[in-house]
Structure 1
Amino acid sequence: MSTSPTIGIAITGSGSAAPVQFLDNDTLSQVVETSDEWIATRTGIKQRYLATPAESISQIAATACQKALEMAKIDASEVDLIILASSTPDDLFGSACQIQAAIGAKNAVAFDLTAACSGFIFGMVTAAQFLRSGVYRNVLVIGADILSRWVDWSDRTTCVLFGDGAGAVVMQATTAGDRWLGFEIRSDGTQNDCLNLPYQGVDRTLTGEVVISQGTYKPMLMRGKEVYKFAVNKVPEVLEKALFRSNLSVAEVDWLLMHQANQRILDAVAQRLNVPPAKVISNLAQYGNTSAASIPIALDEAVRSGKIKPGDAIATAGFGAGLSWGAAIFRWGAF
């Protein structure tokens, strides 16, 4: 009796893109009361890229996707599924389909996934389920955000942190082995008020007793100390659980790649896990916090620079609004 080959997963391509303009700390100090020294010592950030009015999530993400497809050596027509992790789509109904059209992925189904700064990890986990089941063979997972449109630029506790950008990876089904090793994802809605971007409406009476609310959204709200405590407590825990599922020890991990939120958080988590600084990937200084885009942008830069090599074990973790957090363990590259 013949048996079907086990379906494994490989992460075979990466790509990233950023807006054309950037804002460094010295220039930002002309907008809000702050300084390069104040921002850099508290966050590790030196500059961030900001989308112009003419730029969009779909445009920036499409560029990242094209680079990822080129690295993976597959055509857009071969993509079966596109998952866009974003909290700031161009269209409230979603932007994944716009990206599908922009790159010519005519055979792919596309949808948006919202999990804030954990979105890319949640997107990879979702893609892995489709690949494992045998339904799809080639999936594009994108993390993209333009948070500069939703930041209060008079609030130095938030506006100094965030930047815009997009990153993408190609995940493929394979029978040559398995490089998707394990994951753990979590949520806690009781802490939603620590980091959110809430709806803000104005009541409108349509007729008689029929009253509705129409409006937009407030600027982002964040309780920084609470978010820091949450991250340094929960991220090491979720990484350890994902490593356990992957049958790997911390010592066997080649690279620790976390959501690029704050250098102090990255340092604290690495210290709790006993990961040496040389194994921690960080590009915060150049990009700031790009939300769902931060992990794939940093991954792509490390791959293209030769830092991450085929077969390297990478422990990734995302955390943020929701509150949500998660970790995924994988080895880089095709077989």
Structure 2
Amino acid sequence: MVTPAAVVCGIGGHVPERVVTNDELSSMLDTSDEWIRTRTGIRTRHVVEPGGSTGDLAVRASEAALRSCGRRAVDAVVLATSTPDRPCPATAPEVASRLGLNAAVAFDVAAVCAGFVYALATTSSMITSGIVDSALVVGADTFSTILAPTDRTTRAIFGDGAGALVLRKGQREERGVLGEFDLGSDGTGVDLITVPAGGSRQRSTGSAPDETETYFTMQGKPVFVEAVKRMSGSVTAVAARQGWGVADVDQFAVHQANARILAAMAENLGVPVERFARNIERVGNTVAASIPLALRDAVDGGSLSAGDRVVLSGFGGGLAWGSVGLVWPDLTPAESEENRAEGIPR
């Protein structure tokens, strides 16, 4: 019996209409355009308007992904996010319902910036085991809603957005097959990337948290070191499992956390930084949406083409990391209807 494979067949993305520039942040915080650009590589980021949510962005990106491959329905919706619309229930079932997929399998995956790769691994297993024949894998986050208003570091880095891939059952010799995965975690670093309050540990104390504990915090220097080390090792492992050398990889779609991390990874791996998909200047760190948005923009910009060897890699809170390899299929990205109407550049 031939084991089926999970094949990428559609791609889409969406970012909110509102753009926040470095100059706008500088008018509210003790920072500057130069300070932000030289430390992060970011010039602008998109943020949701009041009342907007992760689910809203996920629906728009999913619609675009389905439209790119001419599909109206899939069997499952797997949403990677750390900013769900509500603490309970998961956001994916409502996203599926809004897409008209009321009977679909639907659930969230929480692995922060590694979430999209974890969601791909989970969904790939569902397809290869015969549980479903097709699925939407969505990465969406609205980190603007959990950042401290006066924290110039986190507010400079993060933006909101969503990206999605459509997967279908196929054969292993096809382009677009999700190949070898590498996943890992290190819970000793749990406090490096966190929102301290709001979970059962804090709530069980019966005490109201300090306001600062309700916002996202990150220890930049150790996170930088861990991100470069873990993603470089994971990328190398996946390339080897695919039967490739690192130098054989045409494009690295790595989590867009910081331009310096991309440069450090390129140096670590001994490959040109130009092989790294990059849209961080325009959208910032969009967390679980980062990898699919970078893929969409790489295809649209012509740096990623059918037949290219690609490795996706993410690193985030937990600590958690993961990578996967594939040969890129022939895809035409679709913008969300809102982004097309507003003329928002990719």
TM over 0.5: yes
Structure 1 residue aligned with 2:322: 326
* Equivalent position to 1:223, from 203, 219, 224: 219
Structure 2 residue aligned with 1:279: 275
Q: SS at 2:297's partner residue?
A: helix
**TM-score, normalization by structure 1:** 0.92
* Equivalent position to 1:310, from 306, 310, 322: 306
Aligned letter for 2:67? E
Q: SS at 1:29's partner residue?
A: helix
Q: SS at 2:87's partner residue?
A: coil
Q: SS at 1:152's partner residue?
A: coil
Q: SS at 2:157's partner residue?
A: coil
Structure 2 residue aligned with 1:61: 58
Structure 1 residue aligned with 2:106: 110
* Equivalent position to 1:187, from 164, 185, 188: 185
1:18 and 2:11 aligned: no
Q: Tell which deviates more after alignment, 275-284 or 193-202.
A: 193-202
Check the 8 A contact 2:112/2:317 in 1, yes or no. yes
Aligned letter for 2:142? I
* Equivalent position to 2:296, from 290, 300, 303: 300
Structure 2 residue aligned with 1:83: 78
Q: SS at 2:326's partner residue?
A: strand
RMSD, aligned CA: 2.1
Q: What is the CA–CA distance in structure 1 between the aligned matches of 2:171 and 2:220, rounded to whole Å?
A: 45
Q: What is the CA–CA distance in structure 1 between the aligned matches of 2:201 and 2:84, rounded to whole Å?
A: 25
Q: How does 1:111-190 map onto structure 2 within 5 Å?
A: 111-175=107-171, 177-178=173-174, 179-190=177-188
Aligned pairs, number: 325
Structure 1 residue aligned with 2:336: none
Q: What is the CA–CA distance in structure 2 between the aligned matches of 1:16 and 1:45, rounded to whole Å?
A: 19
Q: What is the CA–CA distance in structure 2 between the aligned matches of 1:75 and 1:31, rounded to whole Å?
A: 44
Q: SS at 1:160's partner residue?
A: helix
Gaps of 5+ in 2: 332-346
Listed one character per residue, the Cα deviations across residues 195-249 of structure 1 (whole Å, up to 9, x for unaligned) are: 1112158999xxxxx9745669611111100101111211111111111221111
Q: What is the CA–CA distance in structure 2 between the aligned matches of 1:62 and 1:15, rounded to whole Å?
A: 11
Q: SS at 1:308's partner residue?
A: coil
Aligned letter for 2:179? L
CA offset at residue 99 of structure 1? 0.6
Q: Tell which deviates more after alignment, 53-62 or 86-95.
A: 53-62
Q: What is the CA–CA distance in structure 2 between the aligned matches of 1:111 and 1:225, rounded to whole Å?
A: 33
CA offset at residue 269 of structure 1? 0.4
Point out 4+ residue stretches in structure 1 off by more than 3 angstroms: 200-204, 210-217
Q: What is the CA–CA distance in structure 2 between the aligned matches of 1:33 and 1:65, rounded to whole Å?
A: 37
1:237 and 2:233 aligned: yes
Check the 8 A contact 2:114/2:321 in 1, yes or no. yes
Check the 8 A contact 2:5/2:124 in 1, yes or no. no
Q: What is the CA–CA distance in structure 2 between the aligned matches of 1:191 and 1:214, rounded to whole Å?
A: 25
CA offset at residue 5 of structure 1? 2.9
Larger Rg: 1
Check the 8 A contact 1:10/1:334 in 2, yes or no. no
Q: Tell which deviates more after alignment, 111-120 or 67-76.
A: 67-76
Aligned letter for 1:91? R
Structure 2 residue aligned with 1:46: 43
Q: Which has the higher strand share?
A: 1
Distance change in 2, residues 1:75/1:211 (3 Å): closer
Structure 1 residue aligned with 2:3: 6
Q: What is the CA–CA distance in structure 1 between the aligned matches of 2:255 and 2:249, rounded to whole Å?
A: 17
Q: What is the CA–CA distance in structure 1 between the aligned matches of 2:126 and 2:286, rounded to whole Å?
A: 27
Structure 2 residue aligned with 1:198: 196
Distance change in 2, residues 1:130/1:47 (3 Å): same
Identity of matched residues, %: 38
Q: SS at 1:15's partner residue?
A: strand
**TM-score, normalization by structure 2:** 0.89
Gaps of 5+ in 1: 205-209
Aligned letter for 2:52? E
Check the 8 A contact 1:255/1:279 in 2, yes or no. yes
Q: What is the CA–CA distance in structure 2 between the aligned matches of 1:227 and 1:62, rounded to whole Å?
A: 31
Q: SS at 2:28's partner residue?
A: coil
Q: SS at 2:227's partner residue?
A: helix
